Chains A and B, each alone.
Chain A
Amino acid sequence: MNVNKDFVKLIVMCFIAGALIGDGIAWILSLDNGMGSLVAPEFANDVGEPLAILIQTVLCGFMGVFGLAGSKVYSSERFNILQATSLHAVMITPLVMITCYICCWTGRSLKSVLVFGGVMVMMYIIIWITMYISCRAQVKQINEMLEKRRNEKQ
Chain B
Amino acid sequence: MRTEFFEDRNIDETTVIVHASSRTEEVEELMEYIRAFTPSPIAGYSDGVLTKLKKDSIIRIYSKDKRVYADTVDASYLLKSTLYRLEEELPKNFVRISNSEIVNSDKILRMDLNLIGTIKIHLEGNMESFVSRRYVSRVKKVLL
- Which residues of A are in contact with B by a Cβ distance under 8 Å? 74-75, 77, 80-84, 128, 131-132, 135-136, 138-139, 141-143, 145-146, 149
27 contacts between A and B (CB under 8 A): A77-B132, A81-B117, A81-B133, A82-B116, A82-B117, A83-B116, A83-B117, A84-B117, A128-B117, A131-B117, A135-B113, A135-B117, A135-B136, A136-B113, A138-B137, A138-B140, A139-B111, A139-B112, A139-B119, A139-B136, A142-B136, A142-B140, A143-B111, A145-B140, A146-B108, A146-B143, A149-B143
Contact partners of A131 in chain B: CB under 8 A: 117
Name the prevailing secondary structure of the B interface residues.
Answer: mixed
Contact partners of A149 in chain B: CB under 8 A: 143
Of all chain B residues, the one with the shortest Cβ separation from A79 is: B117
Contact partners of B113 in chain A: CB under 8 A: 132, 135-136, 139
Contact of A81 among B98, B99, B116, B144 (CB under 8 A): B116
Is A132's CB under 8 angstroms from B143's CB?
A: no
Of all chain B residues, the one with the shortest Cβ separation from A136 is: B113
Contact partners of A77 in chain B: CB under 8 A: 98-99, 132
Bound-complex Cα distance A131 to B112 (A): 15
B41, chain A: closest CB distance, angstroms: 24
Number of A-B residue pairs at CB separation under 8 A: 53
A75, A84, A136, A143 interface centre (most CB from chain B within 10 Å): A143
- Which residues of B are in contact with A by a Cβ distance under 8 Å? 98-99, 108-113, 115-119, 132-134, 136-137, 139-140, 143-144
Contact partners of A81 in chain B: CB under 8 A: 116-117, 133
A74, A142, A143 interface centre (most CB from chain B within 10 Å): A142
Contact partners of A146 in chain B: CB under 8 A: 108-111, 143
Is A75's CB under 8 angstroms from B119's CB?
A: no
Contact partners of A84 in chain B: CB under 8 A: 117
Bound-complex Cα distance A149 to B144 (A): 10
